[in-house]
Amino acid sequence: MKLHSNPWLRTAYARLWVRAKSIYGEPLWVAVNVGFPFFTSFSFTMVYRAYGLGAYAGFAILGGVMISFWGNVLWSMASQFNWDKQVGLFEIYISSPAPITAILVGMSLGGILGTAPSAAMVAILGWVIFAPPIHPFWPAVVLVFSLTLASLYAMGMALSSLYLAYGREADSVNEALHEPVSLISGVYFPSVGGISPFPFAVQAAASLVPLTIGMDALRQSLGFPIKVAFIPLYIEALILALMALILLLASSRALRFLENKGRRTGSIAVRQR
């Protein structure tokens, strides 16, 4: 099937191109995308080393890689439709023949392509400077990383419909989610498993966020010397796949409902200030 003959693929490609171009078209954004997670990882790594926990340095570096994608999911995926509505673009989306799901998928792929080089720079710099001991099984790493991104961006798609309906509080919700989720999901230290500082109830609640399961699965597949497994790797991979599927279905149904409502009543396109 050729790209130009399929409206869904053309729409997804167009939105992907715009998203990637917008990220790399502004050098300041590139610097922020690399600098923020790297210096945060650097700080945690120095703390681990100061307390004689050099083996934990890999946790902080991996966290710097994944926090880049988590921020992109919140600020460039979940909030995007709400921002588009405020500037009048969403009216064009719902009045055009372009499928809303294709716009979301293209936005997700563009976000991944735009964030991946920054995340790779954080990983390369961290591993070159601190050389944490790891013994990765690369097929498992690739599979788990792909499933983690799929479930995270599916979560962003689901949140986008929620923010679209209740857009007035979208930025506040993002602010409320970003740091607490980073803490309980174990981005920079193990938050689930035997050495977690959190009680079981908090660990169970944190496991509802794909980032938590993905971080633990990535640690296992990378072969860190400190064993902090929450549940077996193959079960975590299965959970991530189910999370991605469920969230994709939920986002598709929610957006279809909002799209139909917007075309019928016009209420979804009303801007909120």
- pLDDT for res 146: 94
Residues recorded for the chain: 273
Q: What is the rounded average pLDDT of the residues 87-110?
A: 82
Distance, in Å, from the CA atom of 135 to the CA atom of 88, rounded to the nearest integer, reads 50
Taking 90 as the threshold, does the pLDDT of residue 147 lie above it? Answer: yes
Largest CA distance in the chain: 63
Q: What is the rounded average pLDDT of the residues 3-19?
A: 81
Contact 213, 243 (CB under 8 A): yes
> To the nearest whole number, what is the mean pLDDT of the chain?
81
Q: What is the rounded average pLDDT of the residues 126-134?
A: 84
* Owner of token pair 């600098």: 35
Instruction: Please indicate whether residue 139 or residue 55 has the higher confidence score (pLDDT).
Output: 139
pLDDT band at 236 (very low <50, low <70, confident <90, very high): very high
- What the block records as the tokens of 191 is 């938050």
Q: What is the rounded average pLDDT of the residues 211-229?
A: 83
CA distances 251 to 117, 119, 155, 239, Å, are 27, 26, 8, 18
DSSP secondary structure letter of residue 106:
H
* DSSP H or E stretch at residue 55: none
pLDDT band at 228 (very low <50, low <70, confident <90, very high): low
* Owner of token pair 């599916």: 154
Q: In 3-state terms, what secondary structure has residue 126? A: helix
- pLDDT for res 168: 60
* Owner of token pair 């499928």: 99
Q: In 3-state terms, what secondary structure has residue 6? A: coil
- What the block records as the tokens of 261 is 């409502």
- In this structure, of 45-59, 226-240, 252-266, the range with the lowest mean pLDDT score is 252-266
pLDDT band at 25 (very low <50, low <70, confident <90, very high): low
Dihedral Cα 210, 122, 18, 5, nearest 10 deg: -70
- pLDDT for res 2: 57
Instruction: List, in order, residues 6 or more apart from 114 with CB less than 8 Å away.
Output: 19, 20, 22, 23, 24, 33, 72
